[in-house]
Amino acid sequence: MTTADLTLDAALSEWSAQYGDHTAVTDGQTAWDYRQLYEKTLVLADLLRKRGIVRGSRVIMQMTNTVWFPAVFFALSRIGAVPILCLPAHKELVIGGICRNAKPAAMIFTRRYLKFQYEEMAQNLAAQYGCAERLFFEDEFAALTSADADAALERERAVTDLPSADDLAFLSLSGGTTGIPKLIPRTHRDYLYNARVTAERAALSAESVMLNILPAAHNFALGTPGIIGTLMCGGTVVMQKYPDITEFFANVEAYGVTITSLVPALVNMCIRYRNLFDDDDVSSLRYVMVGGAMFRPEEAEAAERLMHCTVIQVFGMSEGMTFMTDCDAPEQVRWHDQGKPSAPEDEYRIVDADGNDVPDGEAGEIIVRGPYTIRGYYENPDANRRSFNSAGYYLTGDRALRTPEGNVRILGRVREQINRAGEKIMPAALEEWICRSENVLECAVIGVPDAELGHKICVYAVTEKPMTLQELNAFLKGEQVSDFYLPDLLRLTDALPLTPVGKVDKNELLRMLEQEERS
Ligand code: AMP
């Protein structure tokens, strides 16, 4: 059997044999070497089996960034159970909706995170969906796996009915929707490949120390290359539980972190922090991978300058495909583009509204297909008709162009385009212009329905000092921005609302504005 034919847990068994006593994962309280992580996985698998979790059982898994996340994930993988990976920010509405569709057999929750008590929600959901006997909280696992561990190991090692590489490994939740997320089915084979090709592109090795601050349940943190990509190379994963920037830099210094993955909102927090305090030792940090949302060239430049690192831009999606810039890409590419597909077999096209390829340099929707990109959502034929074309390409809804060097540059969402009295405005372009003002720290542009114009342009901005709409527009005119791009509304705010993985939540901004207009 080659590595490509392994399941995730069988791969962990190989890594454990190969990297043995090298630290695999730490969260500041607990550190496990590869052998210990693997043995924890076996003991957990035995425990979960005893509580009735079997092959094919769907398990709601909402855990935070501790060492227990990978242990539970690999244990479920060994059983052949299917974790449904929820983020800590998902609450009853989303998880309840998923339960209705996916009918879970068990649930694993965090008890409390960032002031939110999940316990009551978990108990309600478990009672409602018949999982009360199979409800676990992450803080119980240490005690549950400490007694009788040798016997548990022996029992688990004797199990022979194990899943295979093409079985479903987990379901993750699609991002960017206002309703119940769609379920994204990933197999062991596709996900190990996903982690391998992205780990190679990020030059991961046994010397790598990956700081994991994004929620582990998200594709970027889990396997792009994230936790799994680091483990397959024999590196060390540092799990940071809270998105706290002071702690982030303390961890970089304490663990000699060499690489981390961030969304742009977190990079901006790092930039602001380093502008104020630059006394943490960041000399170990080589690469900062940035993806998940629009990232401006000035931000990339500032991140490299202030964090003494090289930026690797990532354009990817939980549905699979990941584009990355190379570690040694020139500045021009690193700061402006999102690079090339991770695997040689990956295919992509940039097409117009009729599905015809556009010439290089022209913008269109980027559509993708490849060995680790899904061909359909889990039990959702309606969504599949909308999101995939007849040749199996996933329609990303992202607007992109191909540069003369063959890199992609993401320009925003196709449908995010604001149509103001017939003029088409791309929020991402306007955001870039507005952020050129020294007074603006961050901003987001949304289209607001308007009876006369179709849409008005509204800007939410975080500024150094107060600013009026007139001042903003005077600044934009000075930048030679076309008149039809000038915003109609400006709202100042202390912080932009973020989605569960830290992208700016434009749906929430729209809701805020609607609420303001109603009151
Ligand atoms: P998710 O499945 O949550 O990872 O979200 C995937 C979506 O995030 C993509 O379809 C894009 O809309 C957006 N995205 C990911 N990476 C980038 C990037 N580098 N620049 C702009 N948008 C991005």
pLDDT tens-digit map of 90-129: 888 889 999 998 999 999 999 999 989 999 999 999 999 9
Q: Ligand 1, atom 12: nearest CA belongs to which residue? A: 398
Is the CB of residue 300 less than 8 Å from the CB of residue 338? no
Specify the pLDDT at position 518.
85
For a ligand 1 pocket test, name from 262, 337, 410, 499 the mutation site with the most ligand atoms within 8 angstroms of its C-beta: 410
Q: Quick one: average pLDDT of 74-93?
A: 94
Asked whether residue 172 is assigned to any structural domain, the reply reads yes
For a ligand 1 pocket test, name from 317, 432, 507 the mutation site with the most ligand atoms within 8 angstroms of its C-beta: 317
Whether 101 and 180 map to the same domain: the answer is yes
Residue 274 carries which side chain, given as an amino acid letter?
Answer: R
What are the DSSP calls for 435-495, one per residue?
TTSTTEEEEEEEEEEETTTEEEEEEEEEESS---HHHHHHHHHHTT--GGGS-SEEEE-SS
Q: What is the number of structural domains in the chain?
A: 3
Q: Which of 133, 141, 187, 157 is nearest to 30 (CA)?
A: 141
Residue 293 CA to ligand 1 center (angstroms) comes to 5
**Where does 202-276 have alpha helices with state H?**
219-223, 226-232, 245-255, 264-276
- Where a domain ends, among 383, 415, 447? 415
Which atom of ligand 1 has the smallest separation from the CA of 397? Answer: 10
- Where a domain ends, among 159, 187, 215? 187
Whether 255 and 304 map to the same domain: the answer is yes
Half-sphere exposure of 433 (CA within 13 A, CB side): 21
| % the chain with pLDDT above 90 | 85
Which atom of ligand 1 has the smallest separation from the CA of 314? Answer: 19
Asked whether residue 512 is assigned to any structural domain, the reply reads yes
Which range among 73-77, 316-320, 511-515 shows the weakest confidence by mean pLDDT?
511-515
Beta-bridge partner residues of 348: 368
pTM equals 0.90
Residue 356 CA to ligand 1 center (angstroms) comes to 23
Which atom of ligand 1 has the smallest separation from the CA of 338? Answer: 19
Whether 308 and 367 map to the same domain: the answer is yes
Residues in the chain: 519
Whether 388 and 481 map to the same domain: the answer is no
Query: pLDDT for 232-259, tens place per residue?
Result: 999 999 999 999 999 999 999 999 999 9
Asked whether residue 234 is assigned to any structural domain, the reply reads no
Q: What is the CATH number of the domain that holds 23?
A: 3.40.50.980
Whether 140 and 47 map to the same domain: the answer is yes
Residue 351 carries which side chain, given as an amino acid letter?
Answer: V
Asked whether residue 228 is assigned to any structural domain, the reply reads no
Q: Quick one: average pLDDT of 49-62?
A: 97
Whether 256 and 133 map to the same domain: the answer is no
- Where a domain ends, among 187, 215, 231? 187
Q: What gap in Å lies between CA 89 and CA 86, rounded to an integer?
A: 8
**What mean pLDDT is reported for the chain?**
94
Whether 21 and 125 map to the same domain: the answer is yes
Residue 200 CA to ligand 1 center (angstroms) comes to 21
Q: Quick one: average pLDDT of 404-425?
A: 86
Asked whether residue 98 is assigned to any structural domain, the reply reads yes
Which residues have any ligand 1 atom within 6 Å of their CB? 175-176, 219, 291-295, 313-318, 338, 396, 398, 410, 413, 501
Specify the pLDDT at position 176.
62
Work out the burial of residue 17: count CB atoms within 10 Å of its CB; fewer than 13 is exposed, 13-18 middle, 19 or more buried: exposed
Q: Ligand 1, atom 5: nearest CA belongs to which residue? A: 317
Q: What is the CATH number of the domain that holds 484?
A: 3.30.300.30
Residue 259 CA to ligand 1 center (angstroms) comes to 20
Whether 152 and 14 map to the same domain: the answer is yes
Residue 160 CA to ligand 1 center (angstroms) comes to 40
Whether 23 and 164 map to the same domain: the answer is yes
Q: Reduced to 3 DSSP states, what percent helix, strand and coil does the chain have, rounded to the nearest 5?
A: 40, 25, 40
> Taking 90 as the threshold, does the pLDDT of residue 452 lie above it?
no
Whether 44 and 159 map to the same domain: the answer is yes
Asked whether residue 154 is assigned to any structural domain, the reply reads yes
What is the span of the domain harbouring residue 59? 3-187
Whether 390 and 506 map to the same domain: the answer is no
Residue 399 CA to ligand 1 center (angstroms) comes to 11
Selected residue with higher pLDDT from 180 and 37:
37
What are the DSSP calls for 149-197, one per residue?
HHHHHHHHHT------TTSEEEEEE-SS-SSSPPEEEEEHHHHHHHHHH
Cβ neighbour number for residue 152 with a 10 Å cutoff: 20
For a ligand 1 pocket test, name from 313, 315, 365, 409 the mutation site with the most ligand atoms within 8 angstroms of its C-beta: 315
Whether 492 and 366 map to the same domain: the answer is no
